Amino acid sequence: MAQAADSVTRGLKAWIEARFGEADVAVGSTEVDAGRAGIRLVLIGLGIDSSDRRATTLLLSYKITIETADPLELHRLASEVAFGLSELPLLVLEGGQGVPLDLKPVSDGEPPALVLTARLARARRVPAGPAVLKPMILEVSDVGAVEGMVATCEGSPISDALIEIPSLELRQRSRPDGSFRFSGLPGLGSFTVIARKSLAEARANARPGERLTLTLAVKD
């Protein structure tokens, strides 16, 4: 579930209460217990950071002030709050989301104050694309054939030789005139054509539309 700004406020209040139990923590204009030192947490600014395409970041700026009648206690508690928050670069909310923190002092004003900026990120919603009305159909054209003949070294045709194109799992026997033809081949790429007869073998690469002569070292 996406966290909202109030989750950050509650998380900060809970952390301050756990760390500084001697002080009364107030959010906004809530009154502080008159008998105790107080730490006031006020939301003073909101901003948006849209530089990340994957998420929108809400910038929450809080002013943190110390309220006490004792000046020395004010100085002590203000410095301890500053130390504590500087050691807390990431506030972990309920549900496990981490919120980066950036702490800056306020140089003027009385009493002394700190400004804490929390960066609450939320993933952007990506609108759904248009519905696919028709499935994509990929067509592979049948543009040609590989043909040729099997012959001896002297050029005599060799019949009944085994001709194969292993990549397409195609095979046939050469005709009495030594010829062969593989038709209906895909029009992309080249194929290795192998001819075998007895213990002799010959191979060549061919593209559809080419004519081959495969020579086997066999006797006529």
Question: Mapped to the 3 state alphabet, what secondary structure does the chain carry?
Answer: CCCCHHHHHHHHHHHHHHHCCCCEEEECCCCCCCCCCEEEEEEEEEEEECCCCCEEEEEEEEEEEEECCCHHHHHHHHHHHHHHHHCCCEEECCCCCEEEEEEEEECCCCCCEEEEEEEEEEECCCCCCCCCCCCCCCCCCEEEEEEEEEEECCCCECCCCEEEEHHHCEEEECCCCCEEEEEEEECCCCEEEEEEECCEEEEEEECCCCEEEEEECCCC
Total Cβ atoms within 10 A of residue 107 = 7
pLDDT per residue as tens digits for the range 118-158:
888 888 776 766 776 766 665 555 557 889 999 998 889 99
Query: Amino acid identity of 70?
Result: D
The pLDDT of residue 23 is: 87
Quickly state the pLDDT bin for 188 (edges 50, 70, 90).
Answer: low
**Which tens digit of pLDDT belongs to each residue from 60-78?**
999 998 888 888 988 888 8
Closest CA to 148 of 176, 181, 193: 181
Structural domain spans, the chain: 5-123, 143-216
72-86 mean pLDDT: 88
Q: Report pLDDT digits (tens) over 95-115.
A: 778 888 888 887 666 677 889
Predicted pLDDT at 1: 44
Distance CA 8, CA 10 (A): 5
CATH of domain 143-216: 2.60.40.1120
Q: What angle do CA 84, 90, 92 make, to 5 degrees?
A: 105
For the residues 168-180, what does the mean pLDDT come to?
92
CATH number assigned to the domain with residue range 5-123, chosen from the 4 options 3.40.50.360, 3.40.50.720, 3.30.590.20, 3.30.2000.10 = 3.30.2000.10
pLDDT-derived band at 195 (thresholds 50, 70, 90) equals very high
190, pLDDT greater than 70: yes
Q: Rounded to an integer, what distance in angstroms lies between the CA atom of residue 178 and that of residue 99?
A: 79
Residue 180, pLDDT score? 93
